[in-house]
Amino acid sequence: MNNFSVFLCLVSVALVVKDAAAQAQNDGVYIVYTGAAASSSTGFGPDHILSSSFLESKRDRVIHTYKKSFSGFAARLSEEEARSIAQRPEVVSVFPDPILQLHTTRSWDFLNAQSKVFKPPTHQTGSGNSKSHSPSGEDTIIGIVDTGIWPEAKSFSDEGLGPIPKRWKGTCSNGPDFSSALCNRKLIGANNYVLDDNFSSPRDRVGHGTHVAGIAAGRVVQGASYNGLANGTARGGSPGSRIAVYRACGPQGCPGSSILKAMDDAIADGVDVLSLSIGLSPLINFSTDPTAIGAFHAIEKDVIVVCASGNDGPKPSSVLNPAPWILTVGATTIDRFFESDVVLGGNRVIKGGGVHFAEHLRKTPVYPLIRGISARTRETTKHNASNCFPGSLDRKKVEGKIVLCESNDEEQHRRRDRVAEVMSRGGIGMIYVNQYGQLVGSVYSAFPVVLVTTEDGKKIRSYIKSNRHTVATILPTEVVSKHKPAPSVAYISGRGPIYDNDYLIKPDVAAPGVDILSTWPSNATNEAFFLQSGTSMACPHVSGIAALVKSHYPSWSHSAIKSAIMTTAIQTNNLKAPITNHLGNPATPDEYGAGEATLFGPLQPGLVYETEISDYLLFLCNMGYDVDQIKLIPKHLPANFSCPSDAKEDLISNMNYPSIAIARFNDSKRKKVKRTVTNVGSEEESVYIASVEMSTDDLKVQVNPTKLHFTKKKKKLSYEVTFKHQNSSSSLSGLAYGSITWTNEKYTVRIPFVVRE
């Protein structure tokens, strides 16, 4: 599990994956997926399978049935039973129930400031399909699939909201600690899908779902802070949107069977946006990934699905939720930094990061400072003690001291376990050396923990080595505002390229995901807020933006909304320089997709790239899926559909997607792709001119035509892009990044490209 999880939170925000097969061995739950809900046309729905002689005596072992937006069921089965059912002709797939894991005062203001090139529209624009709506997104419904909701929070007040949209078909359930009366014109739906749980209720006992819902669509709350830190006004991205909550996750994670059931209901209930801050694995199989399966059926109803890219960065190919029908979001920092400093003997100050309230420590360096390696027990190794692994430290050597802990082995133990080791041995504070750890704040409450860089760790070790009596103190956290540079791609954010698929760029965009303040469960009278970091926090930022766009343009397709968000993303920080990654280098599309999502840009995109259902089906063909595997996935398969005889992976590059990825370029020396754009700008008569930017002189990129002339009758136009070597003797060394931008006097429409050798 990633070490950047919140220490006091009951569930980590890092996305980790338990072995699905092992999980099925423990609880015996399998998902039997039979495809589209329109299975009545074949006569083989879930009821038919359940009534077979094989399962007749096992009906009590069925835990979920799916019959609204797609069909199937989840049941407790033996391996033999699962294998037998999988042989039935009407069954698409049978797979173990996987466990998916969960991956603001300032963030929205920061997005607004960063995207100031885009002005809030004073009137509705577009090609006749816009509608006069409040810019708060009041008529849109965001479905949150997560750990539930804390309905009493002020962020979910319905004060001033109009009637619930008539198209809403969902419900609000009762439970032992949740009444349907707690729903209102803001929180219009709340249901529970976690069955093996101590309580059957939509109430959030973890906090993650409440936090996410507040980011996406929380109402304006004055005076928000976390124990006095990050003071300001909290609000969601689409504060007028309605929220429907589907509790599919508990403290131990999110069963895939529960996620599918939640998505099945949400689609039928009438949500406009589905927000899932969860994920499975970079080793993707679309036929066994509950999120990908549910999302496909969602986009058939033009419900846009927004998911987190995962917290396993900065490793390449760590991105989660890579299906092209999902809008995948990476995480970036904002211009607020939580600084905590170490003061060494001689009043030498080492700047660090972290959130804690160590007011019981004196501000002068009077506390003994020791390295973990010097406090090891006789039974442990120097390596374990140096890293402060559980059970490695001697209480007699640690008690009353501040301990310096290394991070030479990030995989073996989580940071919070190391903090617990220092605390349990009587330490009064901890300095944790991690090159990039301070870039992602962690909350330690009253116990003083400060994260310092590797370089500063060397300075502290040098001080300890050169002095017989070493002392230090840790100062309470202070908020540094207008921090620069920001944004930068978060160290933890899942990166591309997609595992075993270099022909699609993921994540699609990035959004604030570090040190985000949002609402939190509380039994106290005062409103509770909490700080969390992760792509879980980035995802609902984009969900909120998607709801705003849907509110302004209710007839737009899911792909038009995705395109609007991607093509108006920005690539510069608050220093007016390129957005950087955790190393300080310019970020690439593999790290942040098209760039940082903007607040108002997607409301005026000019042109959009629309990806059709047929494009996704061809994508599956080119990924190696055959028609027998594909045919039961969509609700309505196009007549006479078949995979092309020449289907192959590199044809994925031709999908009409708002980004371009080329792979194995040195083998072909030349590659041509096609894209089609639709004019949704306010002017029906408009001319766009193409421009190209790229990272290397070894590549030549040509756009044909270089001008697109739209008229009242010509709203869709196509163009080709040819990639080739600059000369016959050159070859591409590694990667080339760049962009293709179409501009007219009013709009700028940009898509990124990646070319791999």
Q: Are 173 and 190 in contact (CB under 8 A)?
A: yes
In sequence order, what are the beta bridge partners of 101? 279
3 state DSSP class of 652: helix
DSSP 410: T
Burial class (CB in 10 A: 0-12, 13-18, 19+), 254: buried
3 state DSSP class of 355: strand
Phi, psi of 747 (to 5 degrees): -120, 150
Q: Are 113 and 213 in contact (CB under 8 A)?
A: no
Q: Which two tokens stand for residue 117?
A: 């090139």
Which active-site residues does the annotation give?
A: 146, 208, 536
Spatial distance between the Cα atoms of 610 and 363, rounded to a whole number of angstroms: 59
Spatial distance between the Cα atoms of 618 and 612, rounded to a whole number of angstroms: 10
DSSP 602: G
User: In terms of Cα–Cα distance, which of 289, 340, 283, 282 is closest to 313?
Assistant: 282
Burial class (CB in 10 A: 0-12, 13-18, 19+), 209: buried
Sole residue written with tokens 């080791």: 421
Spatial distance between the Cα atoms of 513 and 496, rounded to a whole number of angstroms: 18
Q: Which two tokens stand for residue 464?
A: 């300890």
Residue partners of 290: CB distance under 8 A and separation at least 6: 31, 98, 100, 256, 257, 259, 260, 263, 280
First to last CA, the chain: 32
Burial class (CB in 10 A: 0-12, 13-18, 19+), 646: exposed
CA-only gyration radius of the chain, Å: 26
User: In terms of Cα–Cα distance, which of 97, 497, 490, 10 is closest to 280?
Assistant: 97
Q: Are 215 and 537 in contact (CB under 8 A)?
A: yes
Residue partners of 54: CB distance under 8 A and separation at least 6: 81, 84, 85
Q: Are 251 and 205 in contact (CB under 8 A)?
A: yes
Q: Which two tokens stand for residue 494?
A: 């899942």
Spatial distance between the Cα atoms of 147 and 245, rounded to a whole number of angstroms: 9
